[in-house]
Amino acid sequence: MNVLNIVFRLLLALVVFPIIGGLIVGLDRKLTARLQGRYGPPILQPFYDVLKLFSKQRIIVNEFQVISVFIYLASSVLSLVLFTFQSDLLMIIFVMSIGAVFLVVGALSVKSAYSQVGAQRELMQMLSYEPLLILIIVGMYLMRGSFNIAVIMSQGRPLIEELPLLFLVMVIVLGIKMRKSPFDLSASEHAHQELVRGLLTDYSGLYLGLIDIAHWFDLMLLLGISTLFFYPHIVLGIIASLFLVILEIVIDNVTARLTVKWMLTYSYGLGLVLAAINIAVVYILR
């Protein structure tokens, strides 16, 4: 791997991917507005929001909150960088989880009841999607014999042929991670309100902007993993990932927010069963 290659990958992970992530969030707001019969904000709206948040006065409740925001951002950035450098998938997921945990701990460090309840619910959301994400990666491991992305990408046939059910599980994971209805329990986007702003109630200004940016990184990482299902047909993978996002937006608009208990039942009941069937079939047929 020469220097040019490294620079290219860093540029991809640190500049290009987050910008695409921001554009996807902008597309989300536009599409949601169109589905509701409204004109909607411009596609660049998330960037305006983040820039504005950066220029606001900085109000913090305690120092730990600031540390946790920076750790969340750092771990999201690091996990996407590791992804573009074709590192170990299991490690990427663990790095991403550290950030998610710190976001929760930061929300727990303040006294606001909304923030506290939002943090508890975010923990439940993590409890719902993390096992599914791990199972998706276990499925990939079973197929290729390695967690390493370079090895997973080294073989000819796309993973989706053998792991179609795990790709469906990705829909559940993405919905919970994007905090879309019916899973927008811990905090919700734009005009929806839940527990004031739930998990994000006590974050403001620069720190809220950084959380938004970290969210774009997380989104791109998950879409990267879903694109991996289609390798070597990268274009097909990108189209499928985009379709996944649009599906999430439609689901967001046609469903209502449900309870934490329902989310656990649904993600474990449907997600774990789908994943287990797929992995069992792969295991038996090999």
Partner 1 sequence: MGLLDKARQRSPWLIHYDCGSCNGCDIELLSCLTPLYDVERFGIVNVGDPKQADILVVTGSVNQQNKSVLKNIYDQMPEPKVVVAVGVCACTGGIFRDCYNVVGGIDKVLPVDVYVPGCPARPEQIIDGIKLAIDKLAQKDVVKEEG
Binding pattern for the stretch 22-41 against partner 1, x by CB under 8 A and - elsewhere: -------x---x--xxxxxx
Closer to partner 1 at the Cβ: 193 or 265?
A: 193
Shortest spacing between CB 201 and partner 1, in angstroms: 6
Shortest spacing between CB 43 and partner 1, in angstroms: 12
Q: Could you say which DSSP state residue 256 is in?
A: -
Q: Applying CB under 8 A, does 62 fall inside the site for partner 1?
A: no
Q: Could you say which DSSP state residue 148 is in?
A: B
| Apex 93 CA angle, 160 and 113, nearest 5 | 120
Shortest spacing between CB 198 and partner 1, in angstroms: 10
Rounded CA-CA distance 93/17 in Å is 18
The end-to-end CA distance of the chain, in Å, is: 34
Closer to partner 1 at the Cβ: 130 or 202?
A: 202
Q: Applying CB under 8 A, does 265 fall inside the site for partner 1?
A: no
- Tell which positions 191-220 bind partner 1, by CB under 8 A: 191, 193, 196-197, 200-205, 208
Residue from 16, 58, 154, 269 touching partner 1 (CB under 8 A): that is: 58
Nearest CA to 215 out of 18, 53, 28 is that of: 18
Q: Among 54-62, 75-83, 163-171, 245-253, which window interacts with partner 1 (CB under 8 A)?
A: 54-62
Shortest spacing between CB 80 and partner 1, in angstroms: 24
Rounded CA-CA distance 97/94 in Å is 5
Identify the sign of the CA torsion 155, 156, 162, 167: positive
Burial (CB count within 10 angstroms: exposed 0-12, middle 13-18, buried 19+), residue 189? middle
> What are residue 88's phi and psi, to 5 degrees?
-80, 125
Q: Applying CB under 8 A, does 111 fall inside the site for partner 1?
A: no
Q: Could you say which DSSP state residue 56 is in?
A: S
Contacts with partner 1 by CB under 8 A lie at 29, 33, 36-42, 45, 47-49, 51-52, 54-60, 190-191, 193, 196-197, 200-205, 208
